[in-house]
Chain A
């Protein structure tokens, strides 16, 4: 899991609630990514950021939002608009378009 931390490890969301997942890296990587993992579907890209104060939508951005105010941090908010948020969320970082390194993940469950 290297120098990437994600918190919390488990997160419970009530209906209509926004929740924020934390991702921090100390690898001095420019790029950061958020993926969603569902059983049997591999990883799907939610958002990515190549530099501070800039980010791009991935394949499944609807119902999610991000910010990139610091190089080390890339928090993901799961909004109430995301109707099926139960999944395992993975954060990754890379130097440019080189190898991506992953954090330990956050499992989001709906109450």
Chain B
């Protein structure tokens, strides 16, 4: 069965410091991996995705993520956090081998960036 784990409910970072939001996944085949961000009472905004190719994926707002097949991880990173990055972040996975497979979402990680 497909699954996504975001092991941290909350991540606290000081403004200007690097941030990492962790995600691990489980699929039977090769994964499609996604990161979304949600601000309070808003829909999810797409940040970036890994389909194939370079393991380091760059996305919106200076975010990037590294696909690590051996560790089945897809951690979200940013070199220098901004207060405006404070939001709820979701990792999602789909099994590439399943033609009718839907996205499976993690439970979300709340990022808090303090000035």
Contacts and interface: CB of A to CB of B under 8 A. Distances in A.
Interface of A: 1, 4, 6, 33, 40-43, 45, 48, 58, 88, 90, 92, 97, 99-105, 107
Contacts of B13: none
Interface residues of B, number: 21
Interface stretch (B63-71, B74-82, B104-112): B104-112
Contacts of B49: 99
Contacts of A43: 44, 90, 105
A58 B49 CA distance: 23
B107 A102 contact: no
Interface in B31-67: 32, 34, 36, 41-46, 49
Interface of B: 9, 32, 34, 36, 41-46, 49, 90, 94, 99, 101-103, 105-108
Contacts of A33: 102
23 contacts: A1-B45, A6-B43, A40-B9, A42-B107, A43-B44, A43-B105, A45-B102, A88-B41, A90-B43, A90-B44, A92-B44, A97-B32, A97-B99, A97-B101, A99-B34, A100-B34, A100-B46, A100-B103, A101-B46, A102-B44, A102-B45, A104-B42, A104-B43
